[in-house]
Amino acid sequence: MQFSPGDAIRYGWEAFKRRPWFFVGASFIIAIVYMLAGGISSAVDGAMGGGAEEPTVLGSIVNYGLGTLISMGVTAFYLAAHDNPDTAEFSMLWHPQPFLKFLGASVLTTLAIVIGLALFIVPGIIAMLLFMFSTFIVIDRGLGPIEAMKESMRITAGNRWPLLGFICLLFLILMAGILALGVGLLVAMPIATLAFAHAYRLLSGGPGQAAPADARLGA
Burial 190-215 (b: 16+ CB within 10 A, else e): bbbbbbbbbbbbbbbebebeebeeeb
The DSSP-derived string for 183-212 is TTHHHHHHHHHHHHHHHHHHHHTSGGGGS-
On the question of pLDDT at 5 being above 70, the answer is yes
Q: Is residue 52 classed exposed, middle or buried when 0-12, 13-18 and 19+ CB atoms within 10 A define those classes?
A: exposed
Picking from 74, 89, 82, the residue whose alpha carbon sits closest to that of residue 211 is 82
Whether 32 maps to a domain, the answer reads yes
On the question of pLDDT at 52 being above 60, the answer is yes
Whether 47 maps to a domain, the answer reads yes
Whether 215 maps to a domain, the answer reads no
Whether 122 maps to a domain, the answer reads yes
On the question of pLDDT at 151 being above 70, the answer is yes
Whether 18 maps to a domain, the answer reads yes
pLDDT tens, position by position, 74-130: 999 999 999 999 999 999 999 999 999 999 999 999 999 999 999 888 999 999 999
Picking from 81, 80, 74, the residue whose alpha carbon sits closest to that of residue 34 is 74
Whether 69 maps to a domain, the answer reads yes
Q: What is the pLDDT of residue 145?
A: 97
Q: What is the pLDDT of residue 88?
A: 95
Whether 213 maps to a domain, the answer reads no
Give the C-alpha separation, 215 to 1, whole Å: 14
Domain count, the chain: 1
Segments forming the whole domain that contains residue 24: 5-204
Whether 183 maps to a domain, the answer reads yes
